[in-house]
Amino acid sequence: MKFFNLHTHQFTNNPDVLELVNQYPQDFDVSVPFYSIGIHPWYIVEGRIDADLKIIEEKLKEYNCLAIGECGLDKLIEIPFKQQVSVFEKQLFLAEKYKKPVIIHCVAAYQEVISIKKKLNISVPMIIHGFSKSHQIANQLVKEGFYLSFGKFLLRNPDLKTVFQNIPNDRFFLETDTIEENIQEVYELASNYKELKNQELQAVISNNYKDVFRINHSETKK
């Protein structure tokens, strides 16, 4: 593994890239080697929550399910926030039960996510994907034990450069999510911002991957 893509919706089957492909309970692709699975707050269906959670729990037992998510909270959608919190917390309980990291979608609800982490005493790693916010929010999240993943907004928003530069090297990941650019392009920009050689950045993220996912690279060399 030269590159690790923390969060993507596209499986490219590139032998140099370990892709953590986002999957949904009701739209599962068995051909994807490594994946995360969760109930995204956008796609909460009240009459299907229990069935979705049952599928997620079964998948979490599999070695190639590396994380739960993306799941989380979004204050800009019409799904009732109280219901979002309930579904999010149920998935966090599963993450704790199966000791899987959590990939989090968070929009305008960072304080609530931090509060839930504390309230439930979550011990597994929690990663905010697609981070695009301020130094202040980034510092608070890192202080509270979160990891931050950068991709789309790092490429699109030059103002995020200094935020990214100040994230400790043991607290970040890179991703492509739904963008057309590949993960190598994200690594190239990130290595420039961090003033690291590309191979040095690869080593940094490889170490973070080992710390968070606790999986030997030989097990994920596909």
Task: Give tens-digit pLDDT for 81-140.
Answer: 999 999 999 999 999 999 999 999 999 999 999 999 999 999 999 999 999 999 999 999
Q: Say what the pTM is.
A: 0.94
Residue 60 in tokens: 């979490």
Q: What is the DSSP letter of 75?
A: T
Q: How far does the chain reach from its first CA to its final CA, in angstroms? A: 9
- pLDDT, position 184: 97
Mean pLDDT on 195-210: 97
At residue 164, the pLDDT reads 98
Do 32 and 16 meet the contact criterion of CB atoms below 8 Å apart?
no
**What is the CATH classification number for the domain harbouring 71?**
3.20.20.140
Count the domains in the chain. Answer: 1
β-bridge partners, 68: 37, 102
Beta strands in 114-202 (DSSP E): 126-128, 147-150, 172-174
Q: State yes or no: pLDDT of 219 exceeds 70.
A: no
Please give the pLDDT value at position 220: 42
User: How many Å separate Cα 100 from the centre of its chain?
Assistant: 12
**pLDDT tens string 154-199:** 999 999 999 999 999 999 999 999 999 999 999 999 999 999 999 9
* Residue 84 pLDDT: 98
In terms of Cα–Cα distance, which of 9, 46, 18 is closest to 184? 18
Give the CA distances from residue 20 to residues 10, 53, 156, 183, 189, in Å, rounded to whole numbers and listed in that order.
9, 20, 22, 12, 20
Partnered with residue 193 across adjacent β-strands are: none
Task: For residue 111, give its domain range.
Answer: 3-220
Q: Give the Cα separation of 174 and 102 in Å (integer).
A: 15
| 67 strand-pairing partners | 36
- pLDDT for 201 equals 98
